[in-house]
Structure 1
């Protein structure tokens, strides 16, 4: 358990937050200027707030009222930055082993070969950072952090400097880190896709304060929490992969409702997360017939939130979970939508990108 209380006053910005992060991956989610990096830097000891307290598994890292401030190298924290920050004159192997210099004596050590295999960096061991791609550098940086035997890993927007293909390359390794390594992580992101795929807990920051905390499904399904704008809004469903069909579609089951998606590269029986963007959902008062869309989810309207423009965000409660739909206020009025009204959410199979389907956190993962 990570316990964080921080207060910091700067010109035009006030940070005043308090939250607890259980085991697993806790994502600090918010737009630019929300205070995310300030939080992780304070936890790491790279920045000293005016007042505050941080404790990790009962061990106090700092408590300014009591005059406690552990130096960064004594906190047993692995930090993964936006760029790999590898030593250019050292090989990949030497960069990885450098992390062990910071491992306390007697601490349980991660096996080098296991970490190398998990991250798929075996062929890179003799190379220097200058010859690596951005994604390869980040994998080496993850390995270096793990080999320092940390009690906590901090990741400050580790995918922000990568293009989309490299992000898709790295995300599965963070999923493996979440599921296979028993080290909690505090992960900073402004990307809802990363939140949906990785988070076991989400802490939403806005203007230096905690706006919302909960599971990824709870937070992403809350229409009042859209820190990166309505275009990124989308709900998260938990589903199980039932079968692969010969026409290239995979069939999933969520709350007894079948979902058809472009082929999912997972084994039958796998527990999955499926993110459905609000802008890809159409609503109907009657069960649609004669449509090409395969995914039809019956439900009941929970909430309608109007914006300053012509749009409205509708929250629909279904057996599969909460679904968000971004429609016009004119459509909402024409359909006489209101809380309690029965409705159908319609989603095209091809509208769900492969990047929005991922493995659920394993049940044996801490937290």
Structure 2
């Protein structure tokens, strides 16, 4: 386990956080700018000394104020990927990666060829950073961090400096790290769509404190957290399986416990697991089976609850037979439809709302073999 308990008085914030995360997969630390996310990872890496607390990864204690342990930065074996790549501009990609190898300590998790293949940068080895796109530079930076053989990888807003196309380019590679390396990753972000695609677990931070932590599917679908996530970004996360592809229409059908969803074509095999984020604002409700309508995803369900969201809005939670879907509608619509808990209704989701930013690829591991640290 990753065990984090720390307190630190900063100039404009009192940091007081406690959480635990599994030492495998991705744990996202999510919150608004200024909430203390970066200070947490700086304390883990050793760049910020807590006033008190304990930081440990499995049986390795990085910091303990009681026993006066403060492990030096170079002994912590923490890989750090920043918002910008911070590559050496005068060195080629290969030499930037070699720098990571020279810093390696402990047992080897990943070799040069495997890292290059996993990140898709073989064709870039002879180039220098100024000849790379933003997404390519970040992939090289990730490779350099991995080749230092870290026991923990910290990723601090690694996509924040990229435009949407470059973000879409880089996300599948980070998903590959999640699925194919036995390496814990702490992923810092204030972009909820990134978190939903990548994370296994999530820690919600606000004002220097932990509001909630736990499995992504539980936390991300909690309607009480809408104010932090954002009224128009809150919604539901549903785990699905690819059931069918329609090549002529460029659509895929995903199955889940409550039915089927049609989405733009996903490049995955039949049976592959995927995670779908459905924003509450993209869901409409109907009392009768809709006909003569362009919306393809028409899901029967039962209204579980209605929650006021301020102003003209109300949020409905709908049981789809094991999966929960949330819909953000106006109070006027709820009144007009006379919505009451227990009511049978239909949830409507436009296919075009479920694009690549909403469908997370929970890819199965390839045949790489990584020894334990």
- Both proteins in one fold, TM over 0.5: yes
Secondary structure at 1:266 match in 2: coil
Secondary structure at 2:302 match in 1: strand
Aligned residues of 1:254 and 1:319 also touching (Cα < 8 A) = no
CA displacement at 1:6 relative to structure 2: 1.1
Aligned residues of 1:294 and 1:349 also touching (Cα < 8 A) = yes
Q: 1:199 to 1:42 in 2, by over 3 A?
A: same
Secondary structure at 2:319 match in 1: strand
Superposition map of 1:46-57 within 5 A: 46-57=47-58
Distance 2:80 2:281 in 1: 36
CA displacement at 1:36 relative to structure 2: 0.7
Could you list the runs of 5+ residues in structure 1 that have no partner in the other structure? none
Give yes or no for the alignment of 1:345 onto 2:347: yes
Distance 1:280 1:101 in 2: 49
Could you list the runs of 5+ residues in structure 2 that have no partner in the other structure? none
CA displacement at 1:64 relative to structure 2: 1.4
CA displacement at 1:109 relative to structure 2: 4.4
Superposition map of 1:29-44 within 5 A: 29-44=30-45
Aligned residue pairs total 365
Moved over 3 A (4+): 361-366
Write out per-residue CA displacement over residues 289-317 of structure 1, whole angstroms, 9 at most, x where no aligned residue. 33221111222223322123111122222
Tell me the residue number matched to 2:70. 69
CA displacement at 1:256 relative to structure 2: 4.9
Distance 1:349 1:242 in 2: 16
Tell me the residue number matched to 1:93. 94
Secondary structure at 1:232 match in 2: coil
Distance 2:50 2:363 in 1: 33
Give yes or no for the alignment of 1:168 onto 2:173: no
Secondary structure at 1:39 match in 2: helix
CA displacement at 1:11 relative to structure 2: 4.0
Distance 1:14 1:305 in 2: 32
TM-score by length of 2: 0.93
Tell me the residue number matched to 1:113. 113
Aligned residues of 2:9 and 2:15 also touching (Cα < 8 A) = yes
Superposition map of 1:1-367 within 5 A: 1-22=1-22, 23-105=24-106, 107-226=107-226, 227-245=228-246, 246-319=248-321, 321-360=323-362, 362=364
Distance 2:89 2:235 in 1: 41
